[in-house]
């Protein structure tokens, strides 16, 4: 054996030398050089006189591709338009898109790779990735716009969440049912939720709501690979729940709704915004979903009657005719818009350095997304969601697959809810 | 072996060491980070090689023991005064002890598995061990107190005699290049990999190693020559678990924070692929395999711009990630069929040595032929 | 109706599908001693084709076509790759790893084909339900159970009566002797793979039918659950595959239905239960419930 | 005149049958993993004749059949040269199934019936060999005529049949393919004498239907009785050929092959070896009433024997008599259903192999069990396993203790290797050694364990006369020098006669004789069972 080992040194050496040569570069220079940001604006990594580079760390080949692809395209759409209008702070914005395929290891390397050359992250997707990068992001004071809505991360001042959080979505959604008399005090609510940040954050909301209204929550936690909800729904039925809250992926929403109906449970189903996908309307469960499901989220459906919303929809279909219309489009556009506002603020402060941008982020408020997000966004209070209103929408055969109920909805319970509390 | 060959090996060896030691001088963060993951993989792969290649036992549970090592370290070293929101508990040991402790824990759990590891052989063990990965991840998600659940938990920076393997204290600059956490961990990694290889080589050339190889080649011969086969099978499993544990510790350090998703079934498969590509039975082969398997997708991603047929991420057409996975699968198929001795075998060819048929891939010959 | 029977019945109906898939594993292993991880993506392929074609061919037409395609694909895996590796002396482990690699390639291509969509299988029963012993069961599941039982029945008859069955069993019991008797091992093997492929396609079609919404990016993982089913029953026992499938089906459903009662084990256990069951069984019987333990010869 | 018939190694088959005939084998060379098994064999089988192939274990008889039936590759062997033709069409490279369908059907050694299938299904399996599908339906009729017994049991699981019935089934199954040439590999193996005769009869009847038969046999008597011609294999070559009657009459056959008369190695005075390790006190081995079952079959039935300390005890009997099984019981590889084995005052029954090895019992294997990729030295060092301590820690970390041990062990191993003239090859990979040398490596490995009881399973199988001589000498030397007991499993009587102090004869799983070599040699019971024929008695006197 030993000989073979000695010998394979050779190949190993070759490989490494190759890497070494490939790696040859001006190490450690690009990073800390605060390049002269034109005028008297303080620059930083990824900022030059003519451009601002932003990172997009997302999942275009993994399980979240369905959400991430239109989202990223919407990011790109916004900046294409904005650059045409002259960009921001006299600079064109350039997106560096990296696809981590939901693999933390890959994401960390990609982050390392880009971190020296970007002013901030226009988009960061995937809760395990976010969790893994959290310490690094903090020490780099890297402004990161999340493509997720967990209130648990609000305490980090460099993390920006566009729209309200899962728990508040759920509170609002349930409160809506209560208001409509679909559930009443003392009822039991079944909650079907994913293992992980997303699910548990949603659960937090339903529990809070239940506590406030003398209701109780019947928990059914599942893994992303669960697709047959028979057992879970049976448990709900046995417990006699009056409504089902869903914090999962579309697959599980369809399965749960279908089985519930087949079991003769005609109870309302309220789901967080990621639980819905227009594709569900092609599935056998479509009828039930249309009848019983309510989607609670702060992102506008394509058919929200606001000019900006329609505009974004039209522009997107024009730009990406191959992509299906999904709510992620409106969000991606709004997400980019928020970044724009922050950069603008940084420009006003004459500081586009990373620290400067984090500071700027918490000076902006009253960002009007023209209805893309249910309410104007306010980032001045660290640890608080940028807004607490949502749209309630019902699945329907319209473009984007959701028909919003008129107006937005912000319940008293949601207002009084303290995100930090547990 | 001939002087010529010995010379080549020597030169290659020296060149290799030199390059590795000098690399942090000009390697960008991307390369260092990739390197760190590759080192962690290498340690784990060597461990799996001892089990699969040397003892002829298949295991798909490697990811589980890597997780044990990673979380074990975070638990033993961590637990300091947490910054507010519920921080998972920890033993607050000095990192060195934590590292050793984590490896021992991994070994112990491997030992607990011995009732199965000792009795099952070959493919059955492989299939049984899949279970550990899924059960392990379930625990990682649910034992919040220790693992931090889905949030994962931070890995205490390693330090040795007060010298911290993190970005600061003390600040360090070598030839004008600032040596931060990545650079420092690079050298720690090199040391650990060297240690792993050294131990594995000693083992395979010594009494226990011979016993393991005989268990692989002829279980009964081993038994009648006095080798307690179940015990040695279990022992091999324990040792490879400890390697996985060490790999986990270093992985945690390379990540800075561990999350359950990093330790799925796919990781187990990656390790298996590493030793297959590297060549079953060969220690250095395992290291080479680890390097290839870890670096390949990263390089694809890094150079996706300049690759033919591959579009930039987000565009329509072949994504770099998919391209990497295609290549990955195809490479394994090709190696198995055309170079059953993997990279090690090929390199042997390069250095002009007659390859000896690798027994470990050729377990039971009374195979039905189709 | 007590929840117990409710869970039991829906568990069994789910188990039938697992059994179909596990059968595939077992048939291939019996005939060629290969643990076929590629089974997972062949199932995915089958489900995908059904979803794509049911509009033009109708559900049953689509299933038929998909079964044929999957049979061909599986057979090709055997003839082209597995055989090549075995001719070069690859052992069980190497062959298993080969199928893992094949699986990686197939799965990657399928995830690209499926893309961001959820494709319903277009099963004619939609979300309709029926009553079995007073328990509400989706008609797709009843159909699945019926199909599974029929297929297994057919298989059993063919396996025990037809000369194909004789050839299969002879080859499984002593390949060399079978070859000496003029049985073409290569054809028997290819046949086994093809059969497994067809079963996978059918299983996949039902797996992705109601209550599941359809084929999506994660369908490839489904078949993994059938591995514990096959091993638990005994890798070389078709009867074991059936039992194993049913056990896993019932176990997962119960773990979900009684989640509150077992929440001390951590919630969301149902996907883990199969593996726990697997380990327990293997501790007790190292070669599965019905697996044959090979006698060591010197 | 027969002596003229002798074929010198290089000489190919006699001109008498050149190219003519149904099945022609020309200058066939074959090997297993580099070890040559056939060194230029030529043989012609004409229509309707029975050709017997005789020879000791490992002489290449089965290899010849495997080569013809195309199953050599399944056994890890390959054909290196020569031709095999059926009526002018080459069979080399064909799939076994195709060869069977072409009309060359083999009844494999050990019957290899499909145990889980019923008798009827076994026969159906056989019918696959028919070139054309028609007539498969009623193909079984003639077979049932031949073996009415099988008809009675046609619905039964084949695994439950008796040995004789299984042999009938195996033959019947082959006949289902309506072969032109029938290859029989040791049909009498493990069968009681009366059954052996019956099988012989059957073969005659089959042959009378115009089917050519190649009969590989241990049981020369039966074979020579029914065969037209016969060849005797020795170390992969045809050493002797002629008509059956000629060979049956010739003493030469008995000496060279049946091992009667004065044949066997002349060990004579051996110079004692310089013991590398000290003399050790051997103990007495007592086997009492040991029974072993595999499923339904009894491999050993109530076998008892005593091996006195320091003696050489031979265990002989035809293939399948249960010799190796007994060895496997002694070493703990198989567990006895009943009975007990005691070594000195230790009870071996129920101990795991490693514990038994620790008591100083060591063995070799009939077909080698070495690590082909490791060097000879490493293979020998494994033998030291039970006597050394280095563990995962000390060895892995190269602690001084381990380093010292390693060095010291390497010296000892080198010494033992020297005893067996293996010292020059110590660091060659085992795979590069010749078969005979590998056999010696296995003996050396066993000696490295410093046994007080050494079990040798057919130590000279497949060796030529010189090699066996040498092995015999070594065994005696070892015994003389180390004063240990040796149990020697052999089917070749001649070899053990010179060596053994005492001989136990097994047949069909039972002990049929036990005593001094020469008395056993005359024991009529032995002659009948072992050699299968009465009249051989007076011949053996010569």
Q: What is the pLDDT of residues B95-135, one digit of tens each?
A: 999 999 999 999 999 999 988 888 887 788 888 898 999 99
C241/C235 Cα distance (integer angstroms): 8
Q: Are residues A257 and A335 in the same domain?
A: no
D353 vs B206: CB contact, 8 Å cut-off? no
In the structure, how many helices (H) and strands (E) does chain B have?
Answer: 15, 6
What is the average pLDDT value for chain D, to the nearest integer? 83
D128 vs C185: CB contact, 8 Å cut-off? no
Decide if B191 contacts B176 (C-beta within 8 A): no
> Strand (E) positions, A115-158?
120-124, 143-146
Q: Which of C52, C219, C256, C265 to mutate to probe the A interface, most A CBs <10 Å?
A: C256
ipTM: 0.87
For the domain made up of D2-103+179-258, the CATH class stated in words is alpha beta
Q: Which residue has the higher pLDDT, C1 or A396?
A: A396
- Give residues 258 to 287 of A whose Cβ lies within 8 Å of B: none
Determine how many CB atoms are found less than 10 A away from the CB of residue D371.
22
Q: Are residues A98 and A61 in the same domain?
A: yes
Name the residue among B307, B340, B343 with its Cα closest to residue B324.
Answer: B307
Nearest chain B residue to D407 by CA: give it: B206
Dihedrals phi, psi of C143, to nearest 5 degrees: -55, -45
Show residues of chain A in contact with C6, CB under 8 Å: 234
SS3 state at B171: coil
CATH number at residue A193: 3.40.50.2300
**pLDDT for position D530:** 59
pLDDT digits (tens, 9 = 90+) for C194-208: 999 999 999 999 989
**pLDDT for position C111:** 87
D400 Cβ under 8 Å from any chain B Cβ: no
Lookup result for tokens 């119960």 = C254
Nearest chain C residue to A221 by CA: give it: C268
Task: Flag residues of chain C having pLDDT under 70.
Answer: 1, 293-298
Residues 6+ apart with CB under 8 A from A205: A166, A167, A168, A169, A170, A171, A174, A417
- Subunits that touch chain D (at least 3 Cβ pairs < 8 angstroms)? B, C
Q: Which helix (H) or strand (E) holds A99?
A: strand A92-99
C296 vs D333: CB contact, 8 Å cut-off? yes
**pLDDT for position B164:** 82
D21 φψ region: left (φ > 0), alpha (ψ -120 to 50), beta (else): left
A250 Cβ under 8 Å from any chain C Cβ: yes
Show residues of chain C in contact with B143, CB under 8 Å: 266
A147/A108 Cα distance (integer angstroms): 17
**pLDDT for position A8:** 56
**pLDDT for position B81:** 60
Q: Which residue has the higher pLDDT, A372 or D33?
A: A372
pLDDT at A67 over 90: no
Please give the structure tokens belonging to residue C260: 């509150």
Please give the structure tokens belonging to residue A104: 């933390």
**pLDDT for position B310:** 67
Decide if A150 contacts A166 (C-beta within 8 A): yes
Which residues of chain B approach chain D closer than 8 Å at the C-beta?
Answer: 199, 202-203, 206-211, 213-214, 217-218, 220-229, 235, 239, 281, 356-359, 365, 369
Lowest-pLDDT choice from D315-329, D450-464, D486-500: D486-500
Question: Measured between CA atoms, how close is B61 to chain A, in angstroms?
Answer: 19
Q: Are residues A177 and A142 in the same domain?
A: no
Q: What's this model's pTM, rounded to 2 decimal places?
A: 0.88
Eight-state DSSP code of residue D430:
G
Nearest to C296 among B138, B220, B361 (CB): B220
Decide if C39 contacts C226 (C-beta within 8 A): yes
Greatest mean pLDDT among B22-26, B81-85, D454-458 lies in D454-458
Nearest to D429 among B199, B227, B356 (CB): B356
C54/C61 Cα distance (integer angstroms): 7
- Res. B168 pLDDT band, cuts 50 70 90: confident
Lookup result for tokens 């019923």 = D118
C72 φψ region: left (φ > 0), alpha (ψ -120 to 50), beta (else): alpha
Decide if B297 contacts A38 (C-beta within 8 A): no
A151/D437 Cα distance (integer angstroms): 75
Question: Measured between CA atoms, how close is B214 to chain A, in angstroms?
Answer: 14
**pLDDT for position A284:** 87
- The Cα diameter of chain D in Å comes to 76
Greatest mean pLDDT among D420-429, D441-450, D530-539 lies in D441-450
- Res. B368 pLDDT band, cuts 50 70 90: very low
Q: Are residues A230 and A141 in the same domain?
A: no
A233/A244 Cα distance (integer angstroms): 9
pLDDT at A18 over 90: no
Question: Measured between CA atoms, how close is C124 to chain B, in angstroms?
Answer: 34
**pLDDT for position B370:** 31
What is the average pLDDT value for chain A, to the nearest integer? 88
A222 vs C268: CB contact, 8 Å cut-off? yes
For the domain made up of D285-541, the CATH class stated in words is alpha beta
The upper half-sphere exposure of residue A5, i.e. CA atoms within 13 Å in the direction of its Cβ, equals 16
Q: Are residues A282 and A411 in the same domain?
A: yes
pLDDT at D343 over 60: yes
Determine how many CB atoms are found less than 10 A away from the CB of residue B221.
24
D253/D289 Cα distance (integer angstroms): 36
Decide if A194 contacts A231 (C-beta within 8 A): no
What angle (nearest 5°) sits at the alpha carbon of residue B184, between those of residues B182 and B185?
65
Q: Are residues A171 and A292 in the same domain?
A: yes
Nearest to D129 among C163, C182, C186 (CB): C182
A59/A125 Cα distance (integer angstroms): 7
Decide if A74 contacts A333 (C-beta within 8 A): yes
**pLDDT for position D528:** 67
pLDDT at D280 over 90: no
Please give the structure tokens belonging to residue C22: 């596990």
Eight-state DSSP code of residue A148:
S
C296 Cβ under 8 Å from any chain B Cβ: yes
Nearest chain A residue to B178 by CA: give it: A28
C50/C123 Cα distance (integer angstroms): 9
A259 vs C211: CB contact, 8 Å cut-off? yes
pLDDT at A16 over 70: no
- CA dihedral A96→A97→A98→A99, nearest 10 degrees, is 180
Q: Are residues A287 and A310 in the same domain?
A: no
Name the residue among C98, A10, C90, C101 with its Cα closest to residue B287.
Answer: A10
Decide if C199 contacts C42 (C-beta within 8 A): no
**pLDDT for position B309:** 65
- Res. D136 pLDDT band, cuts 50 70 90: low
Nearest to A284 among C126, C218, C263 (CB): C126
A167/A146 Cα distance (integer angstroms): 16
Nearest to D112 among C174, C295, C296 (CB): C174
In chain D, what are the domain boundaries? Answer: 2-103+179-258, 285-541
B301/B321 Cα distance (integer angstroms): 7
> Strand (E) positions, D372-457?
453-457
Alpha helices in C77-138 (DSSP H): 83-87, 92-114
Percent of residues, chain A, with pLDDT higher than 90 = 65
Euclidean distance between the first and final Cα of chain D, in Å?
19
Preceding omega of B170 cis (within 30 degrees of 0) = yes
Q: Strand pairing of B177-178 and B173-174?
A: antiparallel
A277 Cβ under 8 Å from any chain C Cβ: yes
Nearest to B326 among C92, C108, C287 (CB): C108
D388 vs B357: CB contact, 8 Å cut-off? no
Show residues of chain C in contact with A255, CB under 8 Å: 211-213
Name the residue among D398, D474, D409 with its Cα closest to residue D442.
Answer: D474
What is the average pLDDT value for chain C, to the nearest integer? 89
Nearest chain C residue to B365 by CA: give it: C91
Q: What is the mean pLDDT of residues D290-306?
A: 86
Name the residue among B339, B326, B193 with its Cα closest to residue B277.
Answer: B339
Show residues of chain A in contact with C260, CB under 8 Å: 218-219, 235
Residue A218 located in a structural domain: yes
**pLDDT for position A159:** 94
Nearest to B329 among C35, C104, C186 (CB): C104
- CA dihedral D443→D447→D451→D453, nearest 10 degrees, is 30
* Topology of domain B3-353, CATH: ABC transporter involved in vitamin B12 uptake, BtuC (1.10.3470)
Whether D285-541 and D2-103+179-258 are alike in CATH topology: the answer is yes
Determine how many CB atoms are found less than 10 A away from the CB of residue D285.
24
What angle (nearest 5°) sits at the alpha carbon of residue A62, between those of residues A110 and C39?
130
pLDDT at D372 over 80: yes
- Res. B43 pLDDT band, cuts 50 70 90: very high
Decide if C197 contacts C70 (C-beta within 8 A): yes
**pLDDT for position D132:** 67
Residue A16 located in a structural domain: no
Burial B290-328 (b: 16+ CB within 10 A, else e): bbbbbbbbbbbbbebeebeebeebbeeebbbbbbbbbbb
Decide if A256 contacts A227 (C-beta within 8 A): no
Show residues of chain B in contact with D73, CB under 8 Å: 369
Residue A421 located in a structural domain: no
In the structure, how many helices (H) and strands (E) does chain C have?
Answer: 12, 2
Nearest chain C residue to D368 by CA: give it: C298
Name the residue among B346, B272, B32, B334 with its Cα closest to residue B165.
Answer: B32
Nearest chain C residue to A200 by CA: give it: C267
Question: Measured between CA atoms, how close is D348 to chain C, in angstroms?
Answer: 19
Lookup result for tokens 């009997």 = D317
In chain B, what are the domain boundaries? Answer: 3-353
**pLDDT for position B16:** 86
Nearest to C174 among D98, D114, D328 (CB): D114
A407 φψ region: left (φ > 0), alpha (ψ -120 to 50), beta (else): left
- Give residues 116 to 145 of C whose Cβ lies within 8 Å of B: none
For chain C, the 3-state helix, strand and coil shares in percent, each to the nearest 5, are 70, 5, 25
Range of the domain at A229: 166-297+407-416
Decide if A352 contacts A346 (C-beta within 8 A): yes
Nearest chain C residue to D173 by CA: give it: C181
Burial C83-116 (b: 16+ CB within 10 A, else e): bebbeebbbbbbbbbbbbbbbbbbbbbbbbebeb
A284 vs C218: CB contact, 8 Å cut-off? no
Nearest to C185 among B115, B126, B370 (CB): B370
Q: Are residues A108 and A186 in the same domain?
A: no
Name the residue among A106, A99, A117 with its Cα closest to residue A56.
Answer: A99
SS3 state at D350: coil
């Amino acid at each position: 054996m030993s000989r073979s080992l000695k010998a394979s040194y050779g190949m190993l050496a070759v490989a490494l030398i190759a890497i070494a040569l490939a790696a040859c570069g001006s190490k450690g220079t690009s990073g800390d050089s605060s390049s002269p940001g034109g005028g008297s604006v303080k620059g930083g990594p990824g900022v030059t006189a003519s451009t601002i580079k932003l990172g997009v760390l997302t999942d275009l080949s993994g399980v979240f591709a369905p959400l991430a692809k239109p989202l990223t395209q919407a990011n790109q759409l916004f900046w294409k338009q904005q650059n045409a209008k002259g960009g921001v702070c006299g600079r064109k914005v350039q997106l560096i898109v990296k696809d981590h395929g939901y693999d933390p290891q890959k994401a960390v390397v990609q982050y390392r790779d880009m971190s020296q050359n970007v002013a901030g992250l226009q988009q960061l997707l995937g809760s395990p990735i976010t969790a893994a990068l959290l310490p690094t992001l903090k020490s780099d004071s890297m402004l990161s716009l999340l493509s997720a809505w967990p209130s648990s991360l609000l305490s980090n001042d460099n993390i920006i969440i566009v729209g309200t959080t899962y728990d508040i979505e759920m509170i609002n959604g349930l409160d809506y049912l209560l208001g409509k008399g679909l559930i009443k005090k003392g009822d039991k609510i079944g909650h079907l939720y994913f293992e992980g940040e997303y699910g548990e954050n949603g659960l937090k909301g339903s529990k809070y709501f239940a506590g406030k209204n003398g209701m109780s929550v019947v928990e059914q936690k599942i893994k992303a690979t669960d697709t047959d909800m028979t057992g879970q729904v049976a448990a709900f039925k046995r417990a006699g729940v009056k409504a089902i809250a869903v914090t999962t992926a579309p697959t599980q929403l369809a399965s749960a709704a279908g089985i519930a109906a087949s079991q003769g449970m005609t109870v309302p189903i309220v789901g967080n915004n990621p639980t819905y996908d227009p594709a569900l309307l092609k599935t056998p469960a479509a009828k039930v979903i249309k009848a019983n499901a309510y989607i609670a989220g702060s992102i506008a459906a394509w058919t929200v009657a606001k000019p900006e919303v329609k505009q974004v929809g039209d522009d997107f279909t024009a730009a990406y005719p191959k992509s299906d219309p999904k709510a992620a489009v409106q969000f991606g556009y709004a997400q980019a818009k928020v970044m724009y506002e922050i950069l603008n603020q940084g420009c006003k402060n004459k500081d586009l350095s990373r620290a400067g941008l984090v500071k700027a982020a918490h000076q902006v408020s009253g960002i009007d997304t023209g209805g893309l997000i249910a309410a104007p966004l306010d980032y001045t209070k660290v640890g608080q969601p940028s807004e607490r209103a949502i749209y309630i929408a019902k699945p329907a055969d319209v473009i984007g697959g959701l028909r919003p109920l008129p107006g937005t909805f912000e319940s008293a319970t949601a207002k009084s809810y303290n995100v930090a509390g547990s | 072996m001939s002087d010529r060959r010995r010379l080549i090996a020597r030169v290659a060896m020296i060149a290799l060491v030199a390059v590795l030691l000098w690399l942090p001088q000009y390697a960008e963060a991307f390369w260092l980070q990739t390197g760190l993951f590759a080192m962690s993989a290498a340690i784990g792969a060597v461990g799996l090689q001892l089990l699969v290649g040397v003892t002829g036992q298949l295991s798909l549970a490697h990811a589980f023991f890597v997780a044990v090592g990673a979380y074990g370290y975070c638990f033993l070293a961590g637990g300091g005064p947490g910054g507010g929101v519920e921080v998972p508990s920890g033993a607050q040991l000095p990192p060195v002890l934590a590292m050793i402790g984590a490896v021992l824990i991994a070994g112990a759990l491997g030992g607990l598995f011995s009732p199965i590891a000792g009795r099952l052989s070959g493919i059955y063990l492989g299939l049984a061990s899949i279970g550990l990965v899924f059960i392990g991840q379930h625990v990682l998600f649910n034992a919040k107190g220790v693992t931090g659940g889905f949030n994962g938990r931070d890995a205490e920076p390693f330090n040795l005699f007060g010298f911290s393997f993190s970005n600061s204290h003390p600040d360090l600059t070598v030839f004008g290049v600032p040596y931060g956490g990545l650079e420092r961990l690079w050298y720690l990694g090199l040391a650990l990999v060297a240690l792993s290889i050294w131990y594995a080589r000693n083992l395979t050339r010594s009494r226990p190693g011979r016993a393991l190889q005989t268990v692989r080649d002829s279980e009964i011969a081993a038994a009648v020559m006095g080798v307690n086969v179940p015990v040695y099978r279990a022992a091999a499993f324990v040792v490879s678990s400890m390697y996985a544990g060490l790999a986990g510790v270093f992985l945690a350090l390379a990540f800075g924070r561990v999350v359950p998703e990093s330790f799925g079934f796919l990781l187990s498969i990656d390790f298996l692929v590493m030793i297959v590509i590297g060549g079953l039975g060969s220690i250095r082969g395992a290291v080479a395999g680890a390097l290839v398997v870890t670096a390949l997708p990263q390089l694809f991603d890094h150079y996706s711009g300049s690759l033919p047929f591959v579009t930039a991420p987000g565009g329509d057409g072949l994504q770099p990630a998919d391209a990497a996975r295609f290549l990955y699968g195809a490479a394994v198929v090709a190696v198995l069929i055309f170079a059953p001795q993997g990279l090690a075998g090929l390199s042997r060819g390069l250095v002009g040595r007659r390859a000896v048929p690798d027994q470990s891939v050729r377990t039971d010959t009374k195979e039905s032929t189709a | 109706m007590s929840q117990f029977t409710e869970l039991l019945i829906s568990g069994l109906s789910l188990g039938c599908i697992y059994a179909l898939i596990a059968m595939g594993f077992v048939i291939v292993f019996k005939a060629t001693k290969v643990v076929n991880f590629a089974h997972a993506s062949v199932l995915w392929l089958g489900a995908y084709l059904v979803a794509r074609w049911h509009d033009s061919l109708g559900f049953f037409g689509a299933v038929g076509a998909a079964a044929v395609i999957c049979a061909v694909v599986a057979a090709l895996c055997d003839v082209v790759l597995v055989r090549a590796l075995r001719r070069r002396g690859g052992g069980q482990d190497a062959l298993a790893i080969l199928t893992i690699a094949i699986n990686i390639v197939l799965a990657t291509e399928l995830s690209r084909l499926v893309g961001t969509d959820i494709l319903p299988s277009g099963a004619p029963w939609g979300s309709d339900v029926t009553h079995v012993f007073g328990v509400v069961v989706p008609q797709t599941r009843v159909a699945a159970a019926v199909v599974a039982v029929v297929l297994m029945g057919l298989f059993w008859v063919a396996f025990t009566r037809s000369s194909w069955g004789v050839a299969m069993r002879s080859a499984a019991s002593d390949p060399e002797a079978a070859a000496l008797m003029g049985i073409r091992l290569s054809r028997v093997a290819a046949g086994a793979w093809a059969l497994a492929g067809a079963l996978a396609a059918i299983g996949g079609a039902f797996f992705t039918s109601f209550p599941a919404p359809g084929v999506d990016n994660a369908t490839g993982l489904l078949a993994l659950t059938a591995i514990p089913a096959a091993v638990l029953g005994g890798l070389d026992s078709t009867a074991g595959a059936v039992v194993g499938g049913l056990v896993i089906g019932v176990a997962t459903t119960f773990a979900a239905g009684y989640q509150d009662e077992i929440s001390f084990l951590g919630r969301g256990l149902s996907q883990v239960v199969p593996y726990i069951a697997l380990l327990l069984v293997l501790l007790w019987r190292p070669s599965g419930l019905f697996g044959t333990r090979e006698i060591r010869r010197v | 005149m027969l002596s003229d018939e002798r074929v010198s190694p290089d000489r190919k088959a006699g001109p008498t049958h050149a190219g003519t005939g149904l099945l022609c084998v020309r200058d066939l060379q074959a090997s297993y993993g580099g070890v040559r098994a056939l060194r230029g064999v030529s043989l012609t089988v004409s229509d309707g004749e029975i050709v017997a192939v005789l020879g000791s274990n490992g002489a290449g008889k089965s290899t010849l059949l495997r080569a013809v039936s195309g199953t050599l590759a399944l056994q890890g062997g390959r054909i290196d040269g020569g031709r095999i033709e059926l009526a002018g069409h080459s069979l080399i490279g064909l799939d076994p199934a195709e060869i069977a369908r072409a009309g060359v059907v083999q009844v494999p050694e050990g019957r290899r019936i499909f145990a889980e299938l019923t008798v009827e299904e076994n026969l159906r399996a056989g019918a696959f060999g028919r070139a054309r599908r028609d007539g498969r339906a009623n193909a079984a009729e003639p077979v049932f005529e031949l073996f009415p017994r099988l008809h009675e049991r046609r619905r039964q699981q084949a695994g439950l049949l008796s040995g004789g019935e299984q042999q009938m089934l195996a033959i019947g199954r082959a006949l289902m393919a309506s072969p032109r040439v029938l290859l029989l590999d040791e049909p009498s193996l493990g069968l009681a004498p009366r059954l052996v005769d019956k099988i012989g009869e059957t073969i005659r009847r089959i042959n009378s239907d115009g089917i050519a038969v190649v009969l590989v046999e241990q049981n020369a008597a039966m074979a020579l009785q029914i065969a037209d011609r016969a060849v005797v294999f020795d170390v992969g070559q045809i050493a002797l050929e002629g008509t059956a009657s000629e060979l049956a009459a010739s003493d030469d056959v008995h000496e060279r092959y049946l091992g009667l008369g004065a044949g066997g190695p002349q060990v004579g005075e051996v110079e004692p070896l310089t013991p590398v390790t000290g003399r050790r006190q051997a103990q007495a081995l007592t086997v009492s009433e040991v029974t072993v079952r595999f499923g339904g079959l009894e491999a050993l039935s109530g076998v008892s024997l005593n091996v006195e300390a320091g003696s050489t005890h031979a265990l002989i009997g035809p293939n399948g008599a249960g010799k190796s099984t007994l060895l496997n019981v002694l070493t703990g590889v198989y567990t006895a259903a009943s009975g007990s084995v005691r070594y000195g005052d230790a009870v071996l029954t129920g101990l795991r192999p490693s514990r038994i090895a620790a008591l100083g019992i060591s063995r070799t294997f009939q077909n080698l069990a070495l690590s082909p990729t490791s060097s000879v030295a490493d293979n020998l060092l494994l033998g030291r396993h039970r006597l050394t301590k280095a563990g995962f820690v000390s060895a892995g970390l190269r602690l001084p203790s381990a380093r010292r041990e390693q060095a010291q062990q390497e010296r000892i191993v080198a010494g033992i290797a020297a005893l067996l003239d293996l010292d020059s090859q110590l660091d060659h990979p085992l795979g590069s050694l010749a078969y005979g040398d590998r056999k010696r490596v296995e003996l050396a490995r066993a000696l490295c364990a410093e046994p007080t009881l050494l079990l040798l399973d057919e130590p000279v199988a497949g060796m030529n006369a010189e090699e066996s001589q040498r092995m015999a000498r070594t065994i005696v030397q070892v015994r003389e020098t180390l004063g240990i007991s040796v149990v020697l499993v052999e089917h070749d009587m001649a070899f053990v006669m010179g060596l053994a102090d005492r001989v136990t004869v097994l047949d069909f799983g039972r002990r049929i004789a036990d005593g001094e070599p020469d008395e056993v040699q005359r024991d009529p019971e032995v002659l009948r069972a072992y050699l299968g024929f009465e009249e051989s008695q007076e011949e053996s006197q010569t």
